[in-house]
Chains A and B, each alone.
Chain A
Amino acid sequence: MTERAVAEGTERPAPNRWQVGRLVERRVETRSAQTLVLEVPDWPGHLPGQHVDLRLTAPDGYQAARSYSIAGPVVDGPAGPRIEVTVQRVPDGEVSPYLIDVFGVGDPVEVRGPLGGWFIWRPEQTAPVQLLGGGSGVVPLMAMIRARRVAGSKVPFRLLYSVRTPADLIYGDELRRRARDDFGLDVAYVYTREAPEGWRGEPHRIGLADVNTHGWPPDLEPLTYVCGPTGFVETVADLLVGLGHPSRRVKTERFGPTG
């Protein structure tokens, strides 16, 4: 990757400030993940793949902030723009248990964003896209899938989604529906602990055969986005490079133990 390629592939956003958003809706996705719909009056808009910082303040002034991927395009609410984030509970975490268990509809939260100018997909891009997500790493990839639909893009998309069990699938129903209705979108799954009935194969960690079967070949020059826990991203990115995908076309986002 040359410096020039980096400069062309990145977005230099305007400086942005903390503002107050409000929770207007929450949706249960899995036993450990929920989608929070936040109304953010001065939201400037964002690109799929970008994230947002949420900041909490305790009565004594102590603050804790964490980054969350934005899950889809802006939604118009009656009182202004709304954005969605999907929060996965981190056991012993400081912020995610609050957002899932305590944060109530109508409550305020400080919001800063959009952030991140690298792991983004632009709907006007024409290269085939391969998305590889592990666990809640599917969230920014889903933002791209939803943005593709909203933009009416015909770019071929393939999502390979690695998850422990069928019950851990985030956006499971919507992905089934979109794989049926969104022309040019293929969705495949890898189950690491427990597979649903009728799924071909045994539960396993993602490997070369999965990436080779469900991704695009390098000669189609796809853009690739990989998001998930560190081990998943390291494995998948190494496989992709081994298959001949140039490093500069493989964008990665890893999440560690943030709470």
Chain B
Amino acid sequence: MGIVSPGFQGRPRSQEPTLPPGQYLTEDFPVLSAGPTPRVSLDTWEFVISVENGTERRWSWQELMALPQETPTVDIHCVTRWSKLGTTWQGVSLDTLLDGVDTGAHYALAHSYGGYTTNVPLDDLRGGRAWVAHTFDGKPLAPEHGGPARLLVPHLYFWKSAKWVRGIRLKTMDQPGFWETAGYHDYGDPWREQRYQGD
């Protein structure tokens, strides 16, 4: 426990749902990005998995839509401390996309239209825990929230859920991405409050 702030009570807490430490509940959907919102045409959109041996698998928008779709309802947690509960998405599981990909890599670097990158251990993209999501709350995902498609990895802080995702590169060595290079934690578990390097 830190030093007590004289006169600080905080919000009433009895009715608060269980949130990761340091998080508070929001009903809005805040937008946080490092630059302008990229506008990506569905005609040229693609998702590419590049394997460490140099092979690539790619899907067009139509091909992604033809894959089995899932509709996860998940809680999301932003490192800036808002959490949003029970959000509903539609997308394709990374299990589906990685099915048949022969790899010995342990790391993935997600990369986006616009140049954003973020690193995630490959195991964290498997086991029904990660999706390429294109629909939020029943509607096409808005550009400022990462549309046409974003990565959705809800068990990690939301900067790992790369907006405008374009693909993942499978890597044998971990390579920090955009925010990780700028001082954020390499893994980003909200329940362990892994916000910044050293947490």
Question: Residues of A with Cβ closer than 8 Å to B?
Answer: 1-3, 5-7, 10-13, 15-18, 20, 55-59, 61-67, 94, 98, 102-104, 107-110, 115-119, 230, 233-234, 237-238, 240-241, 247-248, 250-252, 254, 256-259
Contact = CB atoms under 8 A, between A and B. Distances in A.
B3 interface: yes
Contact of A17 (B111, B114, B144, B198): B198
Q: Which of B33, B116, B199 has the most CB of A within 10 A?
A: B33
Contacts of B182: 10-12, 116-118
B67 interface: no
Interface of B: 1-11, 13, 22, 24, 26, 28, 30-38, 80-82, 111, 114-117, 144, 178-179, 181-183, 196-199
A55 B117 CA distance: 29
B144 A230 contact: yes
A228 to B, nearest CB: 12
Nearest to A92: B11
Contact of A3 (B22, B36, B115): B115
Contact of A116 (B10, B33, B183): B183
A254 B34 CA distance: 8
Nearest to A54: B5
Nearest to A242: B36
Contact of A230 (B4, B30, B82, B111): B30
A130 to B, nearest CB: 14
Nearest to A106: B6
A64 B196 CA distance: 17
Given A3-B115, A247-B114, A104 B35 contact: no
Nearest to A102: B7
Nearest to B112: A1
Nearest to B199: A15
Contacts of B35: 1, 237, 247-248, 250-252
Contacts of A117: 181-183
B165 to A, nearest CB: 15
A108 B3 contact: yes
Nearest to B29: A256
A204 to B, nearest CB: 22
Nearest to B198: A15
B4 A258 contact: no
A65 B197 CA distance: 17
Chain B binding surface, main DSSP class? loop
B107 to A, nearest CB: 15
A110 B2 contact: yes
A67 B6 CA distance: 20
A98 B114 CA distance: 39
A258 B82 contact: yes
Nearest to A104: B6
A65 B81 contact: yes
Contacts of B181: 6-7, 10, 12, 117
Contact of B4 (A59, A119, A237): A59
B178 A6 contact: yes
Contacts of B199: 15
Contact of B5 (A56, A237, A248): A56
Contact of B115 (A66, A230, A248): A248
A234 B199 CA distance: 32
Nearest to A5: B115
B31 A254 contact: yes
A118 B177 CA distance: 13
B177 to A, nearest CB: 8
Given A10-B181, A108-B3, A247-B35, A257 B8 contact: no
Nearest to B34: A118
Contacts of A119: 34
Contact of A6 (B1, B36, B115): B115
A67 B2 contact: no
A252 B33 contact: yes
3 tightest Cβ-Cβ pairs between the two chains A and B: A15-B198, A256-B30, A1-B115
25 contacts: A1-B35, A1-B114, A1-B115, A3-B117, A6-B181, A11-B182, A11-B183, A12-B181, A15-B196, A15-B199, A18-B2, A57-B1, A57-B3, A57-B4, A57-B5, A63-B22, A67-B80, A118-B34, A234-B37, A238-B36, A247-B35, A247-B114, A247-B115, A254-B32, A256-B82
